């Protein structure tokens, strides 16, 4: 059974996906290379970026930690 995600939560998931996509592009990487670097599948990265998958906080952390980036700046819109 699929769980329907309420619209406000779905918007946040899509926003996280957009942040991940922008971050990947800023690194100058395609999905394949990015996925290899962070230890996830291309399919997983695609689904996160499209907002089709709600990543665990630990997964988002893993993505940003791989590149030594403080994710709180983007996710919580704080200044360093």
User: What pLDDT shows up at residue 66?
Assistant: 83
* pTM as predicted: 0.69
Q: Residue 68 burial by CB count (10 A; 0-12/13-18/19+): exposed, middle or buried?
A: exposed
pLDDT in tens, 21-76: 988 898 899 999 999 999 999 999 999 999 888 888 888 888 888 877 776 655 55
User: What pLDDT shows up at residue 72?
Assistant: 60
For the stretch 48-53, contacts whose Cβ atoms lie closer than 8 Å and that sit 24 or more positions apart, written own/partner, are 48/16, 48/17, 48/20, 49/17, 49/18, 49/20, 49/21, 49/24, 50/17, 51/10, 51/13, 51/14, 51/16, 51/17, 51/18, 53/13
User: What pLDDT shows up at residue 7?
Assistant: 52
């Amino acid at each position: 059974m699929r769980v329907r995600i309420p619209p406000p939560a779905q918007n946040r998931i899509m926003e996280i996906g957009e942040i991940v996509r922008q971050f990947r592009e800023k690194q100058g990487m395609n999905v394949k290379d990015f996925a290899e670097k962070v230890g996830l599948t291309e399919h997983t990265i695609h689904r996160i970026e499209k907002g089709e998958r709600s990543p665990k906080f630990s997964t988002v952390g893993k993505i940003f930690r791989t590149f030594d980036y403080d994710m709180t700046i983007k996710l919580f819109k704080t200044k360093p």
